[in-house]
Structure 1
Amino acid sequence: MEAHHIYKSPKTLLNKGTGFLSGYTHSLNPYTGCTFGCSYCYVRQMPVSTFRGEEWGTWVDIKKQAADLLRKELRRAKSRGKVTIFMSSSTDPYQPAEYKEEVTRSLLEVMVEDAPDFLFLQTRSPLVRRDIDLLLRLEDRVRVSMTVETDREDIRKHFTPDAPPIQARFKTLQLLKEAGVPTQATIAPMLPSSEQFADKLLPLVNRVCIDDYFMGDGSGGRRTRSLNIGALYEPLGLEDWYHPAAYKAVYEQFRNIFPEEQLYVSREGFEP
């Protein structure tokens, strides 16, 4: 399904970090909307989506002249104190539009010239590998958080048919690690996975964050419940996985493989 793109000229790019992201001074979204259109995405329930009158996943707004705007705003923000940025809170900075538009890359170029104290880059897209050259120039001021909700491609296809394949994400984690970019695997929201999940991630990252709907959607699972996500588990006979206690079993599996100081749960894994 071809999404439609609209070019917008925003008045502002850096938003104040609030709620789940209150550990950050700012959040930064290169796009509005996201064509990965994940079934459980909590943004579906937010005003940006509900007032749109179009289905989430079918549209994306591309922010024009974003780099010039960021250059000004970043300079101003840095003159006031420490600047820590979460990119992105309500879109994927490396969704398909980014191949051609390169808004995210242009923003990284600005941040390489005038670095924030810290940049947390959240994505589920292998396209992030294209920007390794810029990420390396940010050194330890950046962390790439690659979403890998499961190691099972059949589960990925069931819940997020338009998102990138799991194997491509594993490969990207490997490339980031080999290049020396600080990285973590983020199992969020945690989906049904195999017993080998932790073993597969061990050679790829030294930091894992596990999150689920109940901790991570900013409303104790309420936003996700209203999407009726439970119904996606039933045909698979996997309802047990849709439960606030399910993450504990996965956490235990990972604790047998990873040292405890490399494991984070929910919000702490996203902190600067």
Structure 2
Amino acid sequence: MRVEVTEKTPQKLLTKASGFLKGYTHTLNPYIGCAFGCSYCYVRQSPVGLFRKQEWGTWVDVKKDVKEKLAKEMRLLRKKEQPISIFMSSSTDPYQPVEHKEEVTRTQLEVMAEEPPDFLFVQTRSPLVTRDIDILKKLGDRVMVSITIETDLEEVRKRFSPSAPPIPARLKALKILHKEGIPTQVAIAPALPFSEEFALKLKGIVDRVCVDDFTGDGSGGKRTARLGVYEKYETEEKAKWVEGNVQQEVFEVMRTVFPEEQVIQSPDGFFPPKV
């Protein structure tokens, strides 16, 4: 699918967090739009997705001139002695394909390595995040990288998010990050049909597991229903993966491999670790 890429110069980069992300002070989105275009993405039904009048996944705006702007915003917050906890990103993937060339996310991470927030949560589904291990290490325990792996079955991934990175590559990225000592999380969000071996594949490569279902779309599942996602399930999958208590069932599966304190249900699974 061809993706239209344009450039934007934003007035401001950090946005005050609210609603689902109330555990943070700010959100940070290096891009507007997302080339992964996952069928279930809640942003499709948000103002960002609806206002553009273009199909979600076919356009991306690259934010330009971010280095000095972000540094200034960070310094101003510090001058006010305000806490700074950042969720990156709430309405895009910071490591989508255009990041290979544009490096907007890497530039912002470089700024935060010099002007560190109290905590940074990096949410992505892209193995490209491993490129920035050198910077992430500088942030130490101030950062956590959360990689979405909603299923371990490529057939399912291709059905729901054909433009997203392959599952084996994401698992490998988690393994690399974890080995390098970077705090890691797998976000099974939303939980899609997976194999009996899924939990074992995650063992030893993550610090915690976040479990979510479609109720985490910010509207209790109503946005997802409007997207027609349920039609992508096979008939025999619906009883277990649509009609049942998916979040609780997946939570219990993960608890057969991980200790209780490492498995967290959404929304707490997207909040900073408790210390």
Residue 249, structure 1, aligned to residue 249, structure 2: yes
In 2, the alpha carbon distance for the partners of 1:153 and 1:236 equals 18
CA RMSD of aligned residues (A): 0.9
Q: Which residue of 1 aligns with 2:238?
A: 239
Q: Indicate if the aligned counterparts of 2:247 and 2:265 stay in contact, CA closer than 8 A.
A: no
CA distance in 2, matches of 1:205, 1:85: 21
Q: Which runs of 5+ in 2 are unaligned?
A: none
Distance, in Å, in 2 between the alignment partners of 1:252 and 1:179 is: 29
Counterpart secondary structure, 2:200: helix
More displaced 10-residue stretch of structure 1: 205-214 or 95-104: 205-214
Task: Report the counterpart of residue 229 of structure 1 in structure 2.
Answer: 229
Q: Identity of paired residues, percent?
A: 57
1:209 aligns with 2:172: no
Q: Any idea what the Cα deviations from partners look like across 1:68-116, whole Å, max 9, x if unmatched?
A: 2111111112222110000000000000000000000000000000100
Question: What TM-score does the superposition give when structure 1 sets the normalisation length?
Answer: 0.97
- C-alpha distance in 2, partners of 1:68/1:27? 18
Cα deviation digits, residues 170-213 of structure 1 (max 9, x gap): 00001001111111011001111111111110121121000111
Supply the distance in 2 between the matched residues of 1:186 and 1:137 (Cα, whole angstroms).
23
How far apart are the structure 2 equivalents of 1:78 and 1:197?
A: 42
Q: TM-score, normalised by structure 2?
A: 0.96
Do residues 34 (structure 1) and 34 (structure 2) align? yes
Q: Give the alignment of 1:111-126 within 5 angstroms.
A: 111-126=112-127
SS at match of 1:226: helix
Q: Which secondary structure does the structure 1 equivalent of 2:169 belong to? A: helix
**1:4-83 map, 5 Å:** 4-80=4-80, 81-83=82-84
C-alpha separation between the residues in 2 aligned to 1:177 and 1:139? 12
Deviation at 1:244? Answer: 5.4
Partner of 1:108: 109
Read off the aligned partner of 1:237 and give its amino acid letter.
Answer: E
Secondary structure at 1:122's aligned position in 2?
strand
**Whole-angstrom distance in 2 between the partners of 1:259 and 1:85:** 27
Measured in 1, the distance between the counterparts of 2:18 and 2:157 equals 30
SS at match of 1:238: helix
Deviations 1:126-174 (A, max 9, x none): 0000000000000000000000001111100110000000000000001
Structure 2 distance, partners of 1:244, 1:113, is: 47
Q: Secondary structure at the match of 1:252?
A: helix
Runs of 4+ in 1 over 3 A off after TM superposition: none
Distance 1:236 1:64 in 2: 46
The number of aligned residues is 270
1:256 positional shift: 1.1
